[in-house]
Amino acid sequence: MEVTQTTILDLLSDSANGLSIPSYQRVYSWTTRQCEELWLDVLRAGRDSRPHFTGVMLFEGEGADSFGGEDPRDGSPHGGNASGRIDVIDGQQRTATLTLLITALRDWMRETGTALEGADADTLTSRYLHVDAAEGALKLVLSRVDRKTMSAVVEGTELPQDEEELSQNVANNYRLFRDKMGAGFTADDAQVIWNGIQRLLIIAASLDGDDRPQLIFESLNSKGKPLTTADLVRNYLLLAQTHEEQTRLYDEYWDPIEGMFQPDPGSLRLDNAIQGWLSVRFRKVRARGRDEVYSVFKQYVEDEFTGTTESLLHELRNFCMIWAENYRYHAVKKYKSAFKWAENGAPTLVSHYEKKQSTNQSYADSLRAKMDFTDASL
């Protein structure tokens, strides 16, 4: 197995090969939520001119014969597609969604007559949406259920009328991206999106004949316990620090944050506290479930928070102290004397409220009273 770091665009721009989704893969299933997250990731990467890592993708090289000799536009027998095909073992959802985003950007460029730095509408089509060696063949070929809809979107033709042939997720997500490029979307905005797309990094793992793709796929997706919200937040805050700073911040802030909720199998208590803190600090966006909390957390930290990592951890630790005290978690007792447990946190864009100190007992009492209306099982 060969492993390299590359961008998704580099993968799509390989003119000698197209990408196909094996028949055993699940259908395209990303919804509005995942597309919104990708849009924000692309926007931040383009705005801040920094790479964004999107994960590991797994591929297995195949020739045209293994693709089945079908025309990717309609599934009919294909007459001599000489280009090779690479099977996407893991990474279909990201690759398909990025294809929809590029298609939406291309269509906006065509409608407005806009050319971006390093790309025009025709370049996007020929380099990232079509295989050069086979005229009209799509760069990315989805499974049979999604194939015709994706082809119609990329080629700009009418969507399938038969409900059994129409992929609602493909059609809806393309429309979502097009709607984001509506009134008020400028050439500068388009350039930011394009810059961000170019900065989407992946770890590409290419399998050879001795590898067993299904076992590797299962290892990537189903082995071990899934990361909790607390795991993701901790890693996000600490990984960018030096080893010494990681150790200091963990010992001073994160270890007490985790400790005051013990026993906490599956990190349910701490995850709920993080969601509660986020609902206070970032009122513009509310997480509708546990699986959305980390995404909202990242949006808050990257787009709204103005303090340091330490100031955020300081504020979160103090909030968790109040939360754990309110729900009478026994472990919090050993931490109460060590910290100013009702102290307000670091400056943020929502911290125009009057600051209160730990000596202000009425402030601590008011916080407890407000939390009486908070459901810890959220």
Task: Read off the pLDDT of residues 151-163 as tens digits, 9 standing for 90 and up.
Answer: 999 999 999 988 8
Q: pLDDT value at position 352?
A: 47
Burial class (CB within 10 angstroms; exposed 0-12, middle 13-18, buried 19+) of 339: middle
pTM of the model: 0.65
Q: Is the pLDDT of residue 200 over 90?
A: yes
Task: Read off the pLDDT of residues 247-303 as tens digits, 9 standing for 90 and up.
Answer: 899 889 998 898 888 888 778 889 989 988 988 888 766 666 667 888 889 888 888
Q: Which candidate, 196, 198, 195, 144, places its Cα nearest to that of 170?
A: 144
Hey, where are the domains in the chain? 2-222, 229-371
118: left (phi over 0), alpha (psi -120 to 50) or beta: left
Task: Read off the pLDDT of residues 223-233 as tens digits, 9 standing for 90 and up.
Answer: 455 778 888 89
